[in-house]
Amino acid sequence: MEGQKKRVAVLVGCNYPNTSNELHGCINDVLAMKETLVKRFGFEDSNIEVLTDAPDSCKMPTGANIKQALAKMVDEAEAGDVLYFHYSGHGTRIPSKKHGHPFRHEEAIVPCDFNLITDLDFRQLVNKLPKGVSFTILSDSCHSGGLIDKEKEQIGPSSSLQKGATSKTSYTLTPKTIPYHSILQHLSSLTKATTEDMGMHMLELFGSDASLRFQTASHGQLEALGPDEGILLSGCQADETSADMNPSAGGGKAYGAFSNAVEMVVREDKEGGLSNKEVVVRARKLLQDQGFEQHPCLYCSDQNADAIFLLT
């Protein structure tokens, strides 16, 4: 992009250690991506913020910390900047109150403190982008399709799908999802309230740090601003799960299936300069060949579908 100034990234990996929701490959995913961003895509190490729930982490990936890092990245952006957010961790679905919603659910990611960040929060961030700034989100989580509210589908549920065979790897597959009712039960145990209204629990526990989806004054007021600079590469469709792969035995390394597929696609591209659409199509094909039944998706404007991934 002409006049390009800086390349900034926020990378979040949540393994939820020592809990019933524990994953194993998410921190590995974002550390591998950090190396790729520096070596392949020209990001400065000082412009990359990493939030993980590793025991020695200096900043935990709570909902408030993640949103603060993203807001800072967007607020400080100037024309020509390239912004990137990589999330590897659990996702969930919230029952939708909107009539005619295609899946009757809203999509969200699950920070380590369960302070959900929803599709509406990502829509707000995209709407705040200064002119000439691109913002790419890669979400390796369940139900991640549609994670930017009202973003245009380029590759998604309406794309031709083929079912893969059962994965035959020597890895244990764990879906990266926490069901809505499990989250509601967890929050209820903290607030001691019996209500089934998740919004009430969220507001009691997190106040103004809770998602816009639960802030009644903001709910439903954010619209897409025509073709925008939000770009979402999701690990699966909104009604699918994404896989966390943990070695069953031996010294293999745990990883997220979609994060690993994107890493492989980028590594195998010797020419440099795959479009966003090409990255998703190749990652989808790779996962299909490996036997995974998850279908990566792309949501963005027509122009950004053909734009080069991370504008290299």
- Annotated catalytic residue: which of 26, 112, 142, 236? 142
Q: Catalytic annotation on 181?
A: no
CB atoms within 10 A of CB 99: 6
Q: Catalytic annotation on 90?
A: yes
- Annotated catalytic residue: which of 86, 90, 105, 201? 90
Q: Quick one: which of 120, 95, 115 has its CA closest to 187?
A: 115
CA gap 274, 264 in Å, rounded: 13
CA gap 234, 279 in Å, rounded: 11
Catalytically annotated residues: 90, 142
